[in-house]
Amino acid sequence: MSYQVESSAPAREERLKAGIAFGGTCRELKCSMNKGGCLNAANRSFSQTYGCQFTLSLGILNTIRNAVVIMHGPIGCGFCSTATIGTGKFYKRLRDPQANGTIWLSTNLDESAVIGGGEESLRKTVLFADKEYRPETIIVVSSCVPALIGDDVDGIVQSLQSDVAAKLVPVNCEGFKTKVMATAYDAAYNGIMKKLVNPYGEWRKLTESDKDNIDRDYRISRKVNIFNVGSMSRQDEVELERLLKALGLEVTFLPCYSEPDDFSISLEAALNVSICGTHDDYYLQFLKENFGIPYIIDTIPIGRKNTDRWILKIAEFFHLEDEAKSLIEKENEILNKSLDTFREILKGKKVFIGGGEVRILSTAEVLQDFNMEIVGLKGHHIDKFVEPIFESLENIDDVSINIATQHPFEQANIVRKIKPDVIVIHTGGNNISAKHGLPILPLYGPSYNYMGYTGVFEIGRRLARVVKNYQFNKNIKKYRPLPFKESWYEKNPYTYIKEN
Amino acid sequence: MGKYVDRPRYGCALGGALSLLRAIPRAIPIIHSSTGCGYNVYNGINAGAAYLGGGYCGGAALPSSNIIERNVVFGGEDRLAEQVEKTIEIMDGDIYVIVTGCMVEMIGDDIYSVAREFEENDKPVIPVSTPSFQGNSYTGYDMVFSALVKEYVEAEEEKKVCKVNVIGIVPGEDVFYKGNLKEIKRILGLIGIDSNTFVGEGETLDNFKGAGNASLTIVLSDVYGVETAKVFEEIHKIPYLLTGLPIGYLQVENFLYEVGEALNIDNEVIEKALEAEKETYFDYFERITDIYNDIDLQRYGIVVADANYAPSVSRFISDELGWLPQLAMITDFLTEDQKSRLESRFENYDSELKPLVKFDTDASAVKKYIRELWPADQNERYYDALGPGFILGSVIERDFADEFNYPLLSIAFPVTNRVIFNRSYAGINGALTLTEDIFSLLVAGR
């Protein structure tokens, strides 16, 4: 291979100056972002748990087909995979009806490994995985402990490669290395970059006619790789594919639910397009530098304006603006009318939105489209990728925004002060969010459509249903208390954010 | 050196620690570790324990010091002290328990000295070292439980004759823990025993505080809770009895006589109590005698479960359901002593059968043992296949079940395909429910 890949992905607080602790209005946030620096250093004197690099990278790695994932660490690292035993297989089978569920192994590092190193444990696990399952690839994900005991995982993997049939992919993502959990995506891509990106492209026939050649070159000149995210659904992909196919483009989705070879095959494409800037900039930049594939990272296709913009950006690249404009116009015309019944139900309702930076702001655009009032936002972290999405929002400058990865204690305080009618939120903290006693719509879901034009309709349809009856959460609020002391609610919600 | 595990059915020690704390009302865990440990464990337990949820202070609400590289280099004690102070300020609890992840143990943070700074706090702050390279969820349960026995259970010289402490069922890892404890409490109540199950319905921290006056600890396990029982014996002078988890009328009979003997309860009292139970139990069983015999509902039984369920369920399907127990695979980490103790649980079945007993942690092993116990089809004209079969296992056995076309009832962690509240599989009522669930699967298509 002609290119060099660093042994592990840099933390995003360094690479992107991402921040995880902020409280104020959107205007204040934009100002601090322009200044840079201080936002990046802030942290909390009281913190709550959230995903680490390791757990989050599994969101991509556990979806790769024909793979075995090895959790290189003590027995608990990767335990979260339990939650996707059933769904993981189901979603894989939407892409390949024969696909296996996720097979994962733990190297189960114990006290003797902590003292003597984890190399032998890893070696045995890799050999077992290869012999037992004969996968195309074995992905070795290493946690905090191997990093602390100084295991040279890349080296071990390199030396094992000749003993196994599977392609070995080391992914270094020790949790303590970063407080920005989205660094996980870079870690997963870093492993993919190191081992799965081989520039052979599609398999060629032994003999090809000139016409075959021309056909293929034409196809490649129209081929777009779309970089999907684990939090989106197959329905989302179908919708985005529909829109780009309408422009005459050919579409492939990566990296989630891909087959290991897909990373090489995808090198023969005209353009790489990101769905969510939080996920792919590290990898797309790599593909551009080493394989000359241009990329677009702009907005996420959630909401009408964002979807319009996303399609237009892609169309501009292929000089298909006129076709795109006519498509966008038609799509909007039909969709707009169909939203009226939901607007009637949702108009004026105050909404609090929490989750990933890109998702919350784009979802805010959808909710503004329903004439709802955005009263509070909470983003996992903040970096430059939100800028284009801010542009799609109206009257947002005075809205409160909290940058906090999960941290439901700040949310509880804020929600009590701003009194929303509806909450749209990320998973994981709903034992707390439910106790606000309000209707809740999940911010994302791998079995629902949120993206493209149909996604807007689906969000409206579901939200209009959710607000009709929220007795479940009302009763929970009434009978099950939140764990915060009353005195907490009297304080400023950002009391525990500190400059470090 | 630990062996790899193919799809583990447990989390780490921190996982077991957090599951136990999740089960204690108003207990606030403080995790000293990197950001992801609490969240990872919550995701595993929530789904694996049939949607247990984060409860009062679990899930993303778990206080956690979230140490980063700088702390790993310079030590995380200051960060922990800050986190404990602020947790007490914000979180409304009756006990604060510091639990640890691997990296702070490896860098040598002294959580005990940090906890001492909070000795004056009106609610106790108890540190427990729970490094995950020392064990899995079951170990973590014992680590926290025995720390509470040492630090929190009040000393009582005077013991109450008929009061027992019941332990050995790990919340979450035993998906049916609450229902099981309720049923065990009911059964013991039949012979006049007042039992403290610590994390059962209506029980609170006071059940921990007042546990020192029991006259016996019943460990419903051969493995889990044994360390805690030893601490009860050492510090509170309470002897213990390892009973296993009784499932079905016959096992309950043995269980009650065993406990009765330890507490000098008259056999007549036990006989009388069993008389009524037997009547109710077999009255229900009688209902399925028709369909059982009408359509032949005997099955080859394959049990893949933990050290509590595997022996009891195997015996139950053999001696009460009249099935043929083929394989019992116990999926825990076990010492040789523990293994031989568990082996003895498979002796002397009334049916005179004995399953192949295997100790193996790997999902892929089940199929190999089936091959070991049953001859493969050599393309004979007449092949005596291992069927009809039935699997009592976890959702990890789903692929195996699909391949062999056996029904699967998920009884052991992880159980991601069911929602479980107060359902029990232990004792007498639990065995009735287990029988309902098993036979419901067999008639589901009718």
A491 and A372 within one domain? yes
Residue B15 to chain A, least CA–CA distance (Å): 7
Alpha helix stretches (DSSP H) within A139-266: 144-149, 153-160, 183-195, 210-221, 234-245, 262-265
Secondary structure letter of residue B132 according to DSSP: G
Total number of domains constituting chain A? 3
Residue A389 lies in a domain: yes
Residue B388, preceding peptide bond in cis (omega within 30° of 0)? yes
- List, in order, residues 6 or more apart from A498 with CB less than 8 Å away: A21, A42, A43, A44, A45
B71 and B178 within one domain? no
- List, in order, residues 6 or more apart from B288 with CB less than 8 Å away: B297, B435, B439
Which parts of chain B have pLDDT scores under 50?
Answer: none
Q: Give the Å distances, CA to CA, from B321 to A373, B249, B411.
A: 61, 11, 16
Residue B137 to chain A, least CA–CA distance (Å): 8
Confidence of residue A22 (pLDDT cuts 50, 70, 90): very high
Confidence of residue A1 (pLDDT cuts 50, 70, 90): very low
Residue in chain A lying closest to B43 (CA): A80
Confidence of residue A405 (pLDDT cuts 50, 70, 90): very high
A275 and A364 within one domain? no
Residue A37 lies in a domain: no
Contact B305, B409 (CB under 8 A): no
Q: Which residues of A touch B8 (CB under 8 A)?
A: 75, 79, 106, 108
d(CA B391, CA B409): 6
Residue B8 lies in a domain: no
By C-alpha distance, which of A487, A486, A483, A471 is closest to A437? A471
Binding-face residues of B in 30-59 toward A, CB within 8 A: 31, 34-44, 46-48, 53-59
Range of the domain at A311: 210-334
B135 and B18 within one domain? yes
A47 touches chain B (CB under 8 A): yes
By C-alpha distance, which of A378, A181, A364 is closest to B34? A181
Residue A39 lies in a domain: no
Q: Which of A195, A219, A237 is the last residue of a domain?
A: A195
d(CA A348, CA A345): 9
Residue B32 lies in a domain: yes
Contact B136, B16 (CB under 8 A): yes
Confidence of residue A33 (pLDDT cuts 50, 70, 90): confident
User: What DSSP line would sit under A105-154, residue for residue?
Assistant: EE----HHHHHH-SHHHHHHHHHHHHHHH--SEEEEEE-HHHHHHT--HH
Residue A398 lies in a domain: yes
Which two tokens mark B262?
């330890």
Which amino acid belongs to residue A110? D
B19 and B124 within one domain? yes
Sheet holding A103-106, edge to edge: A167-172, A137-142, A67-72, A103-106, B5-6
Residue A55 lies in a domain: yes
Contact A418, A352 (CB under 8 A): yes
Q: Which of B249, B272, B295 is the last residue of a domain?
A: B272
Computed on alpha carbons and rounded to an integer, the radius of gyration of chain B in Å comes to 23
Determine the residue among B5, B9, B19, B34 to mutate to test chain A binding: the one whose Cβ has the most chain A Cβ atoms within 10 Å. Answer: B34
Of B47, B92, B414, the CB nearest to A485: B92
Residue B109 lies in a domain: yes
Confidence of residue A369 (pLDDT cuts 50, 70, 90): very high
A328 and A346 within one domain? no
CATH number of B84's domain: 3.40.50.1980
Binding-face residues of A in 331-350 toward B, CB within 8 A: none
Range of the domain at B29: 13-151
Residue B6 lies in a domain: no
By C-alpha distance, which of B321, B347, B362 is closest to B244? B347
pLDDT digits (tens, 9 = 90+) for A463-472: 999 999 999 9
Contact B135, B165 (CB under 8 A): no
Which amino acid belongs to residue B300? Y
Residue in chain B lying closest to A484 (CA): B91
Residue B279 lies in a domain: no
User: What DSSP line would sit under B190-205, residue for residue?
Assistant: HTT-EEE-SSSTT--H
d(CA B84, CA B298): 57
Least confidently predicted of A66-70, A150-154, A305-309, B208-212: A150-154
d(CA B62, CA B71): 20
B241 and B185 within one domain? yes
pLDDT digits (tens, 9 = 90+) for A263-275: 999 999 999 999 9
d(CA A296, CA A271): 8
Q: Which of A195, A221, A248 is the last residue of a domain?
A: A195
Confidence of residue A37 (pLDDT cuts 50, 70, 90): low
Q: Which of B272, B296, B324 is the last residue of a domain?
A: B272
Q: What is the largest CA-CA distance in chain B?
A: 79
A110 touches chain B (CB under 8 A): yes
Total number of domains constituting chain B? 3
d(CA B237, CA B156): 9
A238 and A178 within one domain? no
B414 and B348 within one domain? yes
Which two tokens mark A164?
């196994």
Of B34, B101, B136, the CB nearest to A75: B136
**β-strands B125-128, B160-167 pairing:** unpaired
Q: How many other CB atoms are there within 10 angstroms of residue A285's CB atom?
A: 13
pLDDT at A36 over 80: no
Residue B4 lies in a domain: no
pLDDT at A500 over 70: no
Instruction: With CB atoms and an 8 Å threshold, state whether A176 touches B28.
Output: no
A419 and A289 within one domain? no
A224 and A141 within one domain? no
Of B1, B64, B132, the CB nearest to A74: B132
Residue A463 lies in a domain: yes
ipTM, interface predicted TM-score of the complex = 0.96
Residue A450 lies in a domain: yes
Which amino acid belongs to residue A73? G
A277 touches chain B (CB under 8 A): no
A398 and A315 within one domain? no
Residue B278 lies in a domain: no
Instruction: With CB atoms and an 8 Å threshold, state whether A110 touches B2.
Output: yes
Residue B202 lies in a domain: yes
Residue A76 phi/psi, 5-degree rounding, is: -85, -20
By C-alpha distance, which of B181, B186, B149, B185 is closest to B168? B181
Q: Which residues of A touch B55 (CB under 8 A)?
A: 431
Residue A203 confidence (pLDDT)? 74
User: What DSSP line would sit under B338-402, residue for residue?
Assistant: HHHHHHHTTS--TT---PEEEE---TTHHHHHHHHHS----S-SS---S-SEEEEE-GGGHHHHH
Q: Which of A172, A195, A218 is the last residue of a domain?
A: A195
B294 and B436 within one domain? yes
Residue A4 confidence (pLDDT)? 82
Instruction: With CB atoms and an 8 Å threshold, state whether B86 touches A496.
Output: yes
B126 and B171 within one domain? no
Q: Which of B126, B151, B176 is the last residue of a domain?
A: B151
Instruction: With CB atoms and an 8 Å threshold, state whether A431 touches B54.
Output: yes
A455 and A351 within one domain? yes
Residue A411 lies in a domain: yes
B85 and B21 within one domain? yes
A375 and A456 within one domain? yes
Residue B320 phi/psi, 5-degree rounding, is: -115, -40
Instruction: With CB atoms and an 8 Å threshold, state whether A106 touches B59.
Output: no
Contact A109, A73 (CB under 8 A): yes
A356 and A450 within one domain? yes
Determine the residue among B66, B89, B175 to mutate to test chain A binding: the one whose Cβ has the most chain A Cβ atoms within 10 Å. Answer: B66
B361 and B261 within one domain? no
A374 by DSSP, 3-state: which? Answer: strand
Residue A388 confidence (pLDDT)? 87
By C-alpha distance, which of A155, A189, A144 is closest to A12? A189
A292 and A355 within one domain? no
Q: How many other CB atoms are there within 10 angstroms of residue A486's CB atom?
A: 7
B439 and B333 within one domain? yes
Q: Give the Å distances, CA to CA, from B400 to A100, B272, B310.
A: 12, 45, 18
Residue A177 confidence (pLDDT)? 87
A345 and A491 within one domain? yes
Q: Is the dihedral of CA B290, B293, B296, B302 positive or negative?
A: positive
Confidence of residue A2 (pLDDT cuts 50, 70, 90): low
B318 and B382 within one domain? yes
Of A144, A405, A488, the CB nearest to B103: A144
SS3 percent helix, strand, coil of chain B, rounded to 5, is: 45, 15, 35
B305 and B398 within one domain? yes
CATH number of A71's domain: 3.40.50.1980
